[in-house]
Amino acid sequence: MTTDPATLAQDFDQVRDVTVIGAGPVGMCTSFWAGMREADSRIIDSLPELGGQLTTLYPEKWIFDVPGHPKVLARDLVEMLRVQALEQFGVPVHLSTTAHTISWEDDLVVLHTDRGELRSRTVIVAGGHGAFEPKKLPGYDMTPWEGRGAHYIVGEKSVFADKRVMIVGGGDSACDWVINLLDTAREISLVHRRDGFRAHEVTVGQVLQAADRGDVALHVPYQIKEVYGDGSIQRVRLFHSDDAAQEVDVEVDVILLQLGFKTALGPLKDWGFEISRGALVVDPVMKTSLPRVWACGDITTFDGKLKLIATGFAESAIAVAQAVHEIRPEVKIQPKYSTNTGVPGAVAGQP
């Protein structure tokens, strides 16, 4: 996998066989199938991390229905996909990059992203529920602290190791992270602007027990008034939601904002796709209504559609087979068995 800025800058001058929109499990798997078919691909994602919903919504949850894995942590599945799909085939990955519009130049598809134009022979959209965007804190602009201690996503728990962590939010993800970071952070405080949490009863019970034990400092109903620090976050001033004169200062190193994510088809809905109930309509071979564009994973809809990781993997194999056959008609749709071929350019198969 290539995230080196210099390599990515050069990638804007390259024409790839496939540009994959979305670095969720299905997008990564799409690049895997492309590599297996000796097609070169790149991936773009609006998020700063790989993994789509698995990273943003449930990195620490067990998944039990990915065949071959009796159980697997969502973040471990992302890591295995990264190694198998991106590392193995040296796939350039443009993170924090959103595809805004699409156009065509002869046989090429051009994606217009917020970082420049990317050209490829085909595009495969594995965009899930659309571009993810974390909800921002109402009432205080946290933008200047992003990259300096303010986080919206927990990719690696180690980022919070031995830190004084302030978690902001009152829903499931805020409460889940309070519990999940107890073994990692040095101190945890939880700030919620309303009385009462909107999380699973059991998790709220665990948070309250942790607070009783003195492991978590609860600031409810409080809101952020000001963040102080020299380069990085050092202290946060909170005010009481019902009485702004009541203020409290808390020493912290990082702030984890867990206010939910907005997902919307966003830019994709204006590209001219046939759309039904917020998803891209595809035919039985995953072709969308746009030339040279296929789709797979949660973003597709068809008769009998299942929104599952396992079925998304299968859809991506079909989409890639079609895309490669379109570019090189001599390549058969049905792949050869990997037991015989091995991994092109990496691992030998068996005779």
Ligand X SMILES: Cc1cc2nc3c(=O)[nH]c(=O)nc-3n(C[C@H](O)[C@H](O)[C@H](O)COP(=O)(O)OP(=O)(O)OC[C@H]3O[C@@H](n4cnc5c(N)ncnc54)[C@H](O)[C@@H]3O)c2cc1C
> Applying CB under 6 A, which residues contact ligand X?
21-27, 44-47, 52-54, 57-58, 63, 65, 98-99, 126-132, 266-268, 297-298, 307-310, 312
Nearest-approach distance from CB 56 to ligand X, in angstroms = 7
Nearer to ligand X, 80 or 310 (CB): 310
To the nearest 5 percent, what fractions of the chain are helix, strand and coil?
Answer: 30, 30, 40
Nearer to ligand X, 57 or 185 (CB): 57
Nearest-approach distance from CB 255 to ligand X, in angstroms = 22
Start-end of H helices in the chain: 5-11, 25-36, 52-56, 74-81, 88-89, 172-180, 201-213, 309-327, 338-341
Count Cα atoms within 13 angstroms, Cβ side, for 176.
18
Count Cα atoms within 13 angstroms, Cβ side, for 303.
2
Nearer to ligand X, 178 or 236 (CB): 178
Question: Could you write out the three-class secondary structure of 229-271?
Answer: EECEEEEEEEEECCCCCCEEEEECCEEEECCCEEEECHHHHHC
Nearer to ligand X, 189 or 263 (CB): 263
Give the strand pairing for 254-257 and 164-168.
parallel
Nearer to ligand X, 305 or 336 (CB): 305
- Whose CB is nearest to ligand X? 128
Answer yes or no: are the C-beta atoms of 255 and 246 closer than 8 Å: no
Nearest-approach distance from CB 170 to ligand X, in angstroms = 18
Nearer to ligand X, 60 or 215 (CB): 60
Q: In this structure, what token pair is assigned to residue 322?
A: 């079609």
Nearer to ligand X, 281 or 308 (CB): 308
Nearest-approach distance from CB 86 to ligand X, in angstroms = 14
Helix 201-213 / helix 172-180 crossing angle, nearest 10 deg: 40
Closest by CA to 86, choosing from 137, 126, 122, 51, is 51
Nearest-approach distance from CB 36 to ligand X, in angstroms = 18
Give the strand pairing for 72-73 and 62-63.
antiparallel
